[in-house]
Amino acid sequence: MTMTQITDAGDPPARKLSERFPLLTLVMQRFALSVLLLLAVSMLIYGGVEALPGDFATTYLGQSATPQAVANIRADLGLDRPLVIRYFEWLGGAVQGDFGTSWASRNSVTEQIGKRLGNSLMLAALAAAISVPLAVGLGMLAVHFRNRMPDRIINVVSLAAISLPEFFIGYLLIMVFAINFNIATFPSTVHDGMAVLDRLQAMALPTATLVLVVLAHMMRMTRAAILSVMSSAYMETAELKGLSAFRAMLRHAAPNAIAPIVNVVALNLAYLVVGVVVVEVVFVYPGMGQYMVDAVTVRDMPVVQACGLIFAAVYIFLNMLADIIAIVANPRLRHPR
């Protein structure tokens, strides 16, 4: 028997699998880490919400409630049982898509979230459809005219947009377009059966707010990533062969800068879904953020925990997707030494 056969026979199966399918192994590792991270976040969410000051029974019955009445409400909701048991029951239901019953409305949390989540995802998707191509285009434009007037204007405007919080941008848009010029709808209320044009009109201001919030960061990171690639030696070779600077950027720089750009886009897409909380409250938009804030007001803990877990899952999933796309796009990550 040769040394190669002995070595192969002694290799563990996991090592053989990683050598035969390196890309699949890396993807599975990212997925496993994401699941573990989501499990840890679920513990933090459940424990953190339980540690919040205030009590639903006292809020529901009022300050004049008797201790016996408060104890009865707590027993009815199962709050008199150990925290660990309640967590694992909640986690088991969440894995099956059952987040329990709202304490305030006595309705299914899953059904209520199903109605609200679609509105939030539609708002985030519309903002992403506008901001992502616009950010990449402006970033490439800034690189093409770097250190000239268009580049300076784009940088100044982007710095100003980054400096302003989303609630300030939202109120500014309301004052200008809804109050002064009366060309936009406020509040941004949508409902089932609403005509497409009416829905888009109602979503115009919150969408514009989200676009302005994430556009500047994506544009600046796109510009930085492409400039980093443009300084490479093969870019100088491409220009020496007769390619114009713009064509060299499109054909060589942009494809090689895709990994950092995708990571930035994924992070901002995650923010679009998670960061809609403030925007939805400002514009009274019936989404997950508004639902969560209303639940916090009345100490409706099942709703708060469910919304927090869904926001965390979306954020972790988009980050995992960014990692996988970066691995696929970069041969050095696919075949590490």
3-state SS record for 192-230: CCCCHHHHHHHHHHHHHHHHHHHHHHHHHHHHHHHHHHH
Q: With b meaning 16 or more CB within 10 Å and e meaning fewer, what string describes 33-72?
A: ebeeebeebbeebbeeeeeeeeebbebbeeeebeeeebee
**Segment among 26-30, 53-57, 93-97 with least mean pLDDT:** 53-57
The predicted structure's pLDDT at residue 40: 93
- Confidence category of residue 63, pLDDT binned at 50, 70, 90: low
**For range 179-191, the mean pLDDT:** 85
Mean pLDDT of 245-253: 66
Give the pLDDT of residue 3.
Answer: 45
Local confidence band at 219 (pLDDT 50, 70, 90 cut-offs):
confident
pLDDT at 59: 65
| Of 175-179, 197-201, 216-220, minimum mean pLDDT range | 216-220
pLDDT above 50 for 13:
yes
Please determine, for residue 247, whether its predicted confidence score (pLDDT) is greater than 50.
yes
Angle between helices 109-144 and 149-163 (to 10 degrees): 150
pLDDT confidence of residue 36: 93
Mean pLDDT of 43-47: 88
Average pLDDT score over the chain: 79
Q: Is 50 exceeded by the pLDDT of residue 183?
A: yes
Q: Which residue has the higher pLDDT, 19 or 46?
A: 46
Q: How confident is the model at residue 6 (pLDDT cuts 50, 70, 90)?
A: very low
Average of per-residue pLDDT across 10-35: 69
Query: What per-residue confidence (pLDDT) applies to 272?
Result: 79
Q: Give the domains, in start order, of the chain with CATH numbers.
A: 109-334 (1.10.3720.10)
* Higher-scoring residue by pLDDT: 87, 224: 87
pLDDT for 228: 76
Q: pTM of this prediction?
A: 0.76
Output the pLDDT for position 30.
84
> Average pLDDT of 119-130?
87
- Give burial (CB, 10 Å; 0-12/13-18/19+) of 204: buried
Q: Quick one: what percent of the chain has pLDDT higher than 70?
A: 78
